[in-house]
Amino acid sequence: MNDCTNETGDTPTAPLSRRERAPEGRMRDGFEGGGTPDVTGVVAGVASALALAAGEETTVTWRRDRKGVLTGWCRLPSGEALLPAARAIAELEGRLAMVTPYLPERSQEKGGREIAYHFDLDGATLTLTVTLPLEWARIPSLTPIFRNCDWQERELMELYDVQVVGHPDPRRLFLDHTITHAPFERLVPYSTFSNAATGKALWDRVLGEREDA
Amino acid sequence: MNTRVIKLSAHQLALEEPMYFRVRLEGDRVADLDVLPGQVHRGMEHLVMRRNLYQNITLLERLCSLCSNSHPSTFCAAVEEVAGIVIPPRAEYLRAVADEIKRIASHLFCCAVQANAIGETALFRRVMEIREIMQRAKEAIYGNRMDLAANVIGGVRYDLTPEAATYLARAMEEMKKPLDELYLQFGNNPALMASMAWVGVLPREAAVECAVVGPVARACGIGYDVRRKSPYGAYDRLEFEVATQTAGDVRARNLVRLAEARQSVSLIEQCLAQLPAGPLYADTLPEIPAGEAIAKSEAPRGELMYYLRTDGSDFPVRLKWRVPSYMNWDALKVMLKGEPVANIPLIVNSIDPCIACTDR
């Protein structure tokens, strides 16, 4: 896996300047559905880097909005492809912008969940989506590659039933330790979920602490 | 050396929102830092999935008070992107006006709080007085001093009458001289230099590693501004410079903010001059189809990002947002290392932290 990332480093990709992007006011163009786009640096760089890192079958669909801003969408063939793909993006000087775990109903019926990783490539946003099983979901930690993935992954772990393998600091981030694990996957009373900021749970806790003292 | 661990609360950090720090000290210097968020965790990412897209505009506006225009406008941009809605040109300009008014008020608030943190109460009062011009403008135009309620899906829900535009132009004229003065003060005043220059330094490499955004990044020489890198709304037709500094210290961050506030004045003037006639919102909205979209904007604190996934119903399948403060907290570990305890409140406030936004 490592040797792949070395090769991707050889693909020079000059970041797009604002002028090189689509002319203003142009509608979403032929990127979707395999038209013949004017292949720009980012598009070509990402395609070759991902193909090397995650396998030839990895395709990225690019969309361009009316202002010429690019968003790329890619489904990784497997969870194992995430780490090499992330390394390839780090080589392209990409920045991890956000991680979105979610349970769409459609994939839940198939027994799956999804996590979307959003990367910024000098203004263009590339989203890599991985599909994981509903139970015993495991995903490698990207924190060793992108330091700012730390909080993103800690939040992911406490809200969803996903194990992040190799996270350097897998503590709870926002939620109190007394709250049941993975509240986004089961019904949790609202006052409990919001750290008992309001309502009966808070009152009970205050009284409880007074009795302890 | 004498090592101990102290816990700092919001009050000790001079923050107006709850956030706790666990700080390891060696002597009187900071050796390590652990940020303990979650005190205002309201489960908002869960709440937005229980409300339809229209109700969410109202909810997201209440996410936090200082970014209360960036959240609904970026959310609306995400919905518009999913549904292919094109907002009228006048709406694009009016969204920019609301954004820039909030930016000036937010940046000035941050500078004022820092003046207060170093005991410069006269300066604190002066900055808040200047900010008051913007607060009054908000009240006059939007009817509210914090939440503007300016956005709807497909456009905006307020208009600038010729009288309101004249009033706003006059308010902008009133801002120019004080903002230039403040820039000189924060740049050159010896007392401010003594407390802010070379304090809380974030080197450029560390800034890249922590992936900080907004004025914190631009103060380290990273010229990233969403308005320039991924233009949205009216920003592709407005002229402005990306304000940067290289020192990466508290002073540099404030100079970036004050330079941006001054630019915002110019941006509002450009909007008023170019404001096209026409409708305020798209009058018929299509069904929101199933799809996914990313929307980004430059909130006062930096890049704000929304991811929306829909399934054809009125309720979002998933709505996730990442606020600019989210990564900036981690950079405090670098900024505070080796600093005396007395500098902690100033440095913490110099990243302009937004706790309600971070916790959601």
Distances (CA, A) of B229 to A20, A69, B233: 12, 8, 13
Q: What is residue A1's predicted lDDT score, i.e. its pLDDT? A: 36
pLDDT of A12 > 60? The answer is no
Q: What is residue A196's predicted lDDT score, i.e. its pLDDT? A: 56
Residues 6+ apart with CB under 8 A from B85: B79, B153, B154, B282, B285, B286
What's the total number of domains in chain A? Answer: 2
pLDDT of A15 > 90? The answer is no
* A38 and A67 both lie in a single domain: yes
Mean pLDDT of A98-119: 82
* A163 and A179 both lie in a single domain: no
> Of all residues in chain A, what percent carry a pLDDT higher than 70?
69
* A180 and A125 both lie in a single domain: no
ipTM above threshold 0.85 = yes
Higher pLDDT, A181 or B187: B187
> In this structure, is residue A160 part of a structural domain?
yes
pLDDT of A18 > 50? The answer is no
Is B230 within 8 Å of A66 when comparing Cβ atoms? no
pLDDT of A148 > 70? The answer is yes
Residue A133: which pLDDT band, with cuts at 50, 70 and 90? confident
B85 to chain A, minimum CA–CA distance in Å?
Answer: 11
* A132 and A77 both lie in a single domain: yes
Is A24 within 8 Å of B236 when comparing Cβ atoms? yes
Is B211 within 8 Å of A147 when comparing Cβ atoms? yes
Q: Does B228 touch chain A (CB under 8 A)?
A: yes
Name the DSSP letter for residue A77: S
Is A125 within 8 Å of B294 when comparing Cβ atoms? yes
Indicate the residue of B42, B84, B230 with minimum beta-carbon distance to A194: B42
pLDDT tens digit string along B234-285?
A: 998 998 989 899 999 999 999 999 999 999 999 999 999 999 998 999 888 8
B283-302 exposure pattern, b = at least 16 Cβ within 10 A, e = fewer: eebeebeeebbbbbbbbbbb
> In this structure, is residue A210 part of a structural domain?
yes
Is B232 within 8 Å of A24 when comparing Cβ atoms? no
Higher pLDDT, B237 or A53: B237
Q: Mind listing the pLDDT tens digit of every residue in chain B (360 residues)?
A: 688 888 888 888 878 788 888 999 998 899 888 888 888 888 888 888 888 888 999 999 988 888 899 999 999 999 999 998 989 999 999 999 999 999 999 999 999 999 998 989 999 999 999 999 999 999 999 988 888 889 999 999 999 999 999 999 999 999 999 999 999 999 999 989 999 989 999 999 999 999 999 999 999 999 899 998 889 989 989 989 898 999 999 999 999 999 999 999 999 999 999 999 989 998 888 888 988 899 999 999 999 999 999 888 888 988 999 999 998 898 999 999 989 988 999 999 999 888 888 888
Higher pLDDT, A183 or B60: B60
> In this structure, is residue A186 part of a structural domain?
yes
* A147 and A78 both lie in a single domain: yes
Which residues of A are less than 8 Å from B232 in CB distance?
A: 67, 69
The B residues from 301 to 360 touching A (CB cutoff 8 Å) are: 303, 305, 307, 309, 311, 317-318, 320-322, 326-327, 329-330, 359
Which residues of A are less than 8 Å from B38 in CB distance?
A: 172-176, 195
* A113 and A192 both lie in a single domain: no
* A202 and A164 both lie in a single domain: no
Which residues of B are less than 8 Å from A174 in CB distance?
A: 37-38, 41, 359
Q: What is residue A80's predicted lDDT score, i.e. its pLDDT? A: 80
Indicate the residue of B39, B228, B307 with minimum beta-carbon distance to A118: B307
> In this structure, is residue A103 part of a structural domain?
yes
Q: What is residue B207's predicted lDDT score, i.e. its pLDDT? A: 92
B43 to chain A, minimum CA–CA distance in Å?
Answer: 6
> In this structure, is residue A2 part of a structural domain?
no
B50, B59, B230: which to substitute to probe chain A, counting the most A Cβ within 10 Å? B230
B128 to chain A, minimum CA–CA distance in Å?
Answer: 31
Give the chain B residue whose CA is nearest to the CA of A70. Answer: B230
This prediction has a pTM of 0.84
Q: Which two tokens stand for residue B244?
A: 């940067």
- Rg of chain B taking only CA atoms, in angstroms: 20
> In this structure, is residue A50 part of a structural domain?
yes
Q: What is residue A35's predicted lDDT score, i.e. its pLDDT? A: 36
3-class DSSP state for residue B113?
helix
B205 to chain A, minimum CA–CA distance in Å?
Answer: 12
Higher pLDDT, B335 or A14: B335
* A36 and A101 both lie in a single domain: yes
* A101 and A205 both lie in a single domain: no
**Closest-CA residue to B7 (of B28, B33, B31, B29):** B33
Is B211 within 8 Å of A24 when comparing Cβ atoms? no
**At B288, phi and psi to the nearest 5?**
-85, 115
Q: Does B22 touch chain A (CB under 8 A)?
A: no
Q: Which two tokens stand for residue A157?
A: 């772990």
pLDDT of A149 > 80? The answer is yes
Which residues of A are less than 8 Å from B45 in CB distance?
A: 159, 184
Q: What is residue A36's predicted lDDT score, i.e. its pLDDT? A: 35
Q: Which two tokens stand for residue A101?
A: 């775990």
Q: Are A152 and A99 in contact (CB under 8 A)?
A: yes
Name the DSSP letter for residue B340: B
pLDDT of A7 > 50? The answer is no
Which residues of A are less than 8 Å from B226 in CB distance?
A: 123
* A64 and A130 both lie in a single domain: yes
Is A148 within 8 Å of B210 when comparing Cβ atoms? yes
Q: What is residue A199's predicted lDDT score, i.e. its pLDDT? A: 64
Which residues of B are less than 8 Å from A68 in CB distance?
A: 231
Where in the sequence is the domain holding A149, given as residue range(s)? 18-174
pLDDT tens digit string along A185-195?
A: 776 666 666 65
- Residue A197's identity, in one-letter code, is A
* A122 and A40 both lie in a single domain: yes
Residue A58: which pLDDT band, with cuts at 50, 70 and 90? confident
Q: Does B289 touch chain A (CB under 8 A)?
A: no
| B53-61 and B70-83 helices, crossing angle to 10° | 160
Most trustworthy range by pLDDT among A47-61, A134-148, A194-208, B3-17: A134-148
Distances (CA, A) of B46 to A112, B85, B178: 20, 26, 43
Q: What is residue B260's predicted lDDT score, i.e. its pLDDT? A: 93
Mean pLDDT of A9-25: 38
Residue A29: which pLDDT band, with cuts at 50, 70 and 90? very low
Q: Residue A112: which CATH number?
A: 3.30.460.80
Q: What is residue A188's predicted lDDT score, i.e. its pLDDT? A: 65
> In this structure, is residue A109 part of a structural domain?
yes
Which residues of B are less than 8 Å from A180 in CB distance?
A: none
* A158 and A191 both lie in a single domain: no
pLDDT of A55 > 60? The answer is yes
Indicate the residue of B293, B309, B330 with minimum beta-carbon distance to A148: B330
pLDDT of A5 > 50? The answer is no
